[in-house]
Structure 1
Amino acid sequence: MAVMLQTLQLLVQGVKNGNDDDDGNEVHNVTCDVCENTPIRGDYYKCLQCDNFDLCAGCFERRMESKQHKSGHLLVHFRIPNELFGRTVTYDEITFAKLKQFYAKEVNESITCDGCMKSNFVGLRFKCDTCPNYDLCEKCSITYVTTKDHKLMHPLILTSHRVIVQIPVDDIELGEELGSGAFGNCYSFFHHFDI
C-alpha cells in the first residue's frame, strides 16, 4: 500500500511539474535570443541557418532580427517541447543536415514547389509564413528563390504532410448543441470553404 501511495504521489508531482504552465501553455527549455525570455512559453521557433538561435512567438510575429538572424531564414516551429511532426527529437537533432536525413524520403504529395514548379517533390518542404499557399522545396529554400509576391524577408517554416490543417475560427459556424459536460459544450459545426 505504501509503495502504491508513493507511486501515486510521484505521478501527481510529475503532472504538476509537466511541460506546461498554469495557463496551459507548453514550456520549452530554451531562451529567446532576442528578448531573452526564459523559458519560452507557448510556441517557439528555431532557426536552421543561425547557430543556436531561438525565438519566442512574440519576437517571431514582430519579425525581430539580430546581427546574425534575418526574418527570412529557414525556421522550425515547435508547439510541443521535443516533438516535431509526431516524432520525438532532441534539441541537437534540429539542424538542417539532420532534418534533411530524417525527411530524405518524404514525398510531398499534391504539393508543387513555387520556385522550380516541381510537383510531388521529395525531401524537406518549407511554407512561407506571409504568402498564402506558397511552398518551396529544399533546394529552392536554400537558394532564396523569390517571386513578385514572395520576398526575401518572408520567414520559411519547415512543414510536413503530417501536420493537421488548422481551420481559421472565422471559417467555422457552430451548429446544434450535441451535449455538454465537465469540459464545456459540444456542437456540430460547418466549415466554410473559399471556392
Structure 2
Amino acid sequence: MLGETSCPMKEDFIMDDPQHACSNCTIPMVSGNRWVCNQCKNFQICDRCYEVELKREERERHPIDQRESHTLYPIEINDVPVDTKDIDDILESEFFNTRTFHNPTAPAFVTTCNICDLDIETGQGWRCEVCPKYDVCNACYQKDGGIDHPHKLTNHPSMADCDAENKESRQLRELKLRKMLDLLVHVPRCRSAHCQYPDCRKIKELFRHGMQCKTRAAGGCVRCRKMWYLLQLHAHACKESRCRVPRCRDLKEHSRGSQQQSDSRHRTAVARMMRQ
C-alpha cells in the first residue's frame, strides 16, 4: 500500500538502497559472507572482523556485556547488483547544487561562509582551528579581522599549495586516519590488556585523557582536539543507531540540527528568489 502511494511521487524523493555494513568496522559488505547473530537483530560483521573475533578470548567475544557467547552464522553476499546504471532521467532542481555535472573541474565540496552564506573559493577564506565547520570568506574577515569569533582563524590553503602536497604522504595519512577510525569502533568493545591492535592502547589513553583534562579542546589542548576530530569524522559516517563510540549520538544530533537550520535558510532564500 505504501509502495503504491509513494511510487507516483518517486521523482520527489532521493532513493537510497545501501548495502549491509559491518557492525565493527562499519565498512559496507559487498562480497564474501556476512556473519549474523540470531539473537542480536542488528549485529553483523564482515569476514575480516569475524577472523579477528575468532582470535579473541571467550569472554571478549560477542556479546561483550553478557556471560553467554552468541553463535554467528554466515550468510553469503550475493544480492549486490552487477549493473548499477540508473535508467531514470537526471532532473535538475534549484534545491540542489548541480555545478559538478556541468563543470567537472569545480570542487566537489564547496565551503560556505558562516557570516554571509556565500561560497568560498579555494584559498580565499579563513577557518577556525577549533570549530570544525566554521569558515569565513576574505570579505567578511577583512571587515572585523575575525574578532567576533573566540578562536584563532587560519587562512585556507591555496590551490597551488594543495597540488604541491606529496601524493604518497597524503595517502599514508589517509590510511592512518582510516585505521584510527576503525579503532574508535573497536576500543569500546575491547577488554583485553594485550590487544592485537598496536594503536588500541593509544586510543584508550586518549579517552582517559579526555575524561580528566581540564583544558579541553576549546582551551587549546592538542590531544583533546585530536580526539574530537576523530569523533566528528566517525559520527559523520556512522549509520549505527546504537553506536557505542563515546559522544557519537550527541554529535549526530548536533550535526542533524545544524543541517536542518542550513536547509531552512536555503529554502527561505529559494522561496524569496522565486517570488521576485
Q: Which has the higher helix share?
A: 2
**Structure with larger Rg:** 2
